[in-house]
Chains A and B, each alone.
Chain A
Amino acid sequence: MNARAGRLEIRELVKHYGGDGPAAVAGIDLTIDPGEFITLLGPSGSGKTTTLNMIAGFVPPTSGSILLGGTDLTGLQPHKRGFGMVFQSYALFPHMSVFDNVAYPLRQRGKSKAEIRKLVLDIVERFGLAGLERRRPAQLSGGQQQRVALARALVFSPPVLLLDEPLGALDRKLRAQLQLELKKLHQEVGLTFVFVTHDQDEAMYLSDRIAVFDEGRIDGMGRPAELYDDPGTLFVANFLGEANTFAGRFADPRTYAWNDEKWRTGEGDHPAEAVLVVRPERTRVFAPGEVPPGWNSVGAIVTDVSRLGPTSRIDLAFPDGRAGAAVLPSTDAVQVRVGDDVRAAWDLPSQAFVTP
């Protein structure tokens, strides 16, 4: 096997549905290594699902190409691609039993009856569905249906599994449980997973890498923690978690000016035009004059204090009228009262500059 075997490459992919509207997908480049769990994350209409459907072959791209292990798949019909796919609606065949649903891809591949039986019963057992083989999808719970959909998409050992918001229809508790199962499953089977979701927590929890989509483009890309700490763009900063944002300008390369404040920029490069962002959990609250030396800070009025158990959330109003927040250990927040005039402060490693 060479290094490219199984690698999924997406090059300059564009989808324009015609008419005057903007492109649904406006030029995507993405290389996905074998065995990687990659998440396409974005709000609805950002092009993530269209991209997935182009990978699956359901939507023909306007231009660009899709390669698997160096082979161009772009013009190939979906049934010849051999990718497994899981749909948000599960798309189980309602007129077939669990067994027949899972056996479906094997029958298309002309496997012998004995082989089909063995493969289906193995995977059904592994997904905790043993004993349900004769049931119809309508006789299963949401979680069981989801497992059947996964078993059906994996039973023929596809090189890539495409998942289109597969947990979107489930309640919160079941969702958390299936996220855990999905993560374990990925570690066990070692397949490439391409996962679409609009849920940033889910993306952070599951993915090796996240591609954040906005208006048909990939706005940010990286490992979840890296992307969270250094989002690169304002959109990613706001979409991936919460952020206090300050749109000022560089007074000089080492000083950032916002309102009446002057902040140190720290080491390292930053874009010429940039917005400063700080995560709420890295923002601290001090009485005026008590800010530790070397920290940047901004005046703020406390608008609300919520004790959430181990942490407390302090809602703030900044001098420009915009809202922000600090999330502190509750032990640090006991003194803070609504209406207090405080300094919201952070150390230099906690701040990041992003393009607007």
Chain B
Amino acid sequence: MRRAPLLWIVVCSVAALLTVPTLFLIPMSLTGGSTFQFPPPSWSLRWYRNLVEDRGWRDAVMVSLQVAVLSTPMAVAIGTGAAFGLMRLGARLRLIGAGALSAPLVIPNILIALAIYGMFLQMGLSGTILGLVLGQTALAVPFVLIAVLARLQGYDRNLTAAALSLGATPATVFRTVTFPLVLPGIVAGGVFAFVASFDELVIALLLQSPRTVTLPVQMFNAVVEAADPTISAASTVLVVVVSAVILVAQIGWTRRSEKRSGSGA
């Protein structure tokens, strides 16, 4: 099979358009100067040292990780449960339900953030980790829902019927057939949920208190106050963490399928 040269050019251009700006970050974070001059006048790891040594930056990374680690499982649980529930409805109700649950994707984040802010202020959740976790869970649920729903819609219900006819109880059917087949959707949804939470800015900005500054908020504040290349270092960390999560999920999945096909007899 020969690849069409034109297609090849288009693919490469799109890939470059998407990744090159990000790749500029990395040399900029390694600059020895104190401005965003490009190419950097000299090379140094000083901004990374700043990121680790400066309490504000270090705490921000920890808060972001903490919030993402807590909100991802919640989003996965809610989104997966909702997807299974929606599959039991008729086609029309399912569409309406999926639409309502995906609203956070469509409604501007600033509106959602304002609504959450007003509410959490009254409830005393503003400026708490719990408040951040809840807000970001709401934003992450649609990612899980869509990924799991797509997987469930491709699920052949005859598999459930077959497993039942072979003597498996409904619970066993779920454990041995339905769940393993839907799992890739759940994992993909979880990865997206983690990423969505880890680099979410608007809600985190409104709900911030000195104890709950996330990495994106810290970056935003740094830009507003006095931009120095620490922000490039922070961005690089963000990109690396997010890419690592997605890569690990993907590689882990490929390995697993390879191993599985060799199991049995």
Contact = CB atoms under 8 A, between A and B. Distances in A.
Interface string B157-194: 01101111111111011001100110000000000000
A152 to B, nearest CB: 7
A100 B263 contact: yes
B159 A93 contact: yes
A87 B158 contact: yes
Nearest to A136: B261
B156, B164, B177, B181 interface centre (most CB from chain A within 10 Å) = B164
A98 B264 contact: yes
A260 B162 CA distance: 58
A80 B169 CA distance: 8
Contact of B167 (A120, A135, A156, A162): A156
A82 interface: yes
Given A97-B261, A97-B263, A156 B165 contact: no
B264 A108 contact: no
Contacts of B173: 79
Interface residues of B, number: 25
B181 A95 contact: yes
Contacts of A120: 265
B125 to A, nearest CB: 42
A91 interface: yes
Interface string A242-277: 000000000000000000000000000000000000
A232 interface: no
A228 interface: no
Interface in A96-119: 96-100, 104-105, 108-109, 117
A318 to B, nearest CB: 46
A79 B165 contact: yes
A99 B265 contact: yes
B260 interface: yes
Contacts of B167: 79-80, 82, 105, 108-109, 156
A87 B166 CA distance: 12
A184 interface: no
B163, B173, B180 interface centre (most CB from chain A within 10 Å) = B163
A100 B161 CA distance: 17
B262 interface: yes
A134 interface: yes
A43 interface: no
Contacts of B165: 56, 78-79, 81, 83-85, 153, 162
Interface string B230-265: 000000000000000000000000000000111111
Contact of B265 (A57, A58, A89, A97): A97
A22 interface: no
A209 to B, nearest CB: 23
A133 B265 contact: yes
A66 to B, nearest CB: 15
A93 B163 contact: yes
B172 A89 contact: no
B80 to A, nearest CB: 18
A94 interface: yes
Contacts of A94: 181
- How big is the A interface, by class? 35 or more
A80, A97, A162 interface centre (most CB from chain B within 10 Å) = A97
Nearest to B166: A105
A97 B264 contact: yes
B98 to A, nearest CB: 25
B265 A87 contact: no
Contacts of B181: 94-95
A108 B265 contact: no
Nearest to A135: B261
Contacts of A109: 167
Contact of B158 (A79, A91, A121): A91
Nearest to A120: B265
Contacts of A96: 264
Nearest to A134: B264
A230 B169 CA distance: 46
Interface string B16-50: 00000000000000000000000000000000000
Contacts of A84: 165-166
A108 B170 CA distance: 12
Nearest to A149: B162
Contacts of A136: 261
Interface string A53-91: 000111000000000000000000111111111010101
A117 B176 CA distance: 19
Given A85-B161, A94-B181, A95-B180, A104 B265 contact: no
A100 B264 contact: yes
Contacts of B172: 108
Contact of A104 (B158, B168, B263): B168
B104 to A, nearest CB: 32
Contacts of B261: 97, 134-136, 139
Interface of A: 56-58, 77-85, 87, 89, 91-100, 104-105, 108-109, 117, 120-121, 133-136, 139, 152-153, 156, 162
8 closest Cβ pairs, A-B complex: A97-B264, A99-B264, A91-B162, A105-B166, A108-B167, A133-B265, A85-B165, A91-B158
23 contacts: A57-B164, A79-B166, A79-B169, A79-B170, A81-B165, A85-B161, A85-B162, A87-B158, A91-B159, A93-B163, A94-B181, A95-B180, A97-B264, A98-B264, A100-B264, A105-B166, A109-B167, A120-B265, A133-B264, A134-B263, A135-B261, A136-B261, A156-B166
Given A96-B264, A99-B265, 16 more contacts: A56-B165, A57-B164, A79-B165, A79-B173, A91-B158, A98-B264, A99-B264, A104-B168, A108-B167, A117-B265, A133-B265, A134-B261, A134-B263, A136-B261, A153-B166, A156-B166
